[in-house]
Structure 1
Amino acid sequence: MKVKTSSTISCPLCGNQASETMPEDSCQYFWECPGCGEIIKPKQGDCCVFCSYGDIDCPPVQQDKSCC
């Protein structure tokens, strides 16, 4: 399976969406929304903002690897 490295992430506060490139070998814990400027963190139990608010899970999760 080819790992996808691009995800559309949605701000849970203002609803702004942005297409972002995900790191391939780690999780991204923070994301600054370009719409409202809020610093977004993952939901409890998720490893990164892409797994919580993106349309594609982060590359380590796609590959069933530990990333945290």
Structure 2
Amino acid sequence: MVAILESVIMCPNCGHQEAETMPTDACMYFYECTSCKIVLKPLSGDCCVFCSYGAAKCPPVQQQRSCCN
């Protein structure tokens, strides 16, 4: 299975959406919204901001691999 490497993150504060390339070998724990400048962190139970706020989960989760070791 080939992982999707781009995801659109939607800010829960202002609704701004931004397409971002996801890292394949690390988790992105913090993300600053380019519109309102709030810093997003993963929701409880998620490993990264893409899993919480992205249109696609991070590549390790997509491939059912261990994430963020």
2:34 match: 34
The runs of 5 or more residues in structure 1 that have no matched partner are none
TM-score after normalising by structure 1 = 0.96
- AA of the residue aligned to 2:53: Y
> Which portions of structure 1, spanning 4 or more consecutive aligned residues, are displaced by more than 4 angstroms?
none
CA RMSD of aligned residues (A): 0.7
TM-score after normalising by structure 2 = 0.94
The runs of 5 or more residues in structure 2 that have no matched partner are none
| CA distances 1:26-59 after superposition (whole Å, capped 9, x unpaired) | 1110000001001100101100000000000000
- AA of the residue aligned to 2:52: S
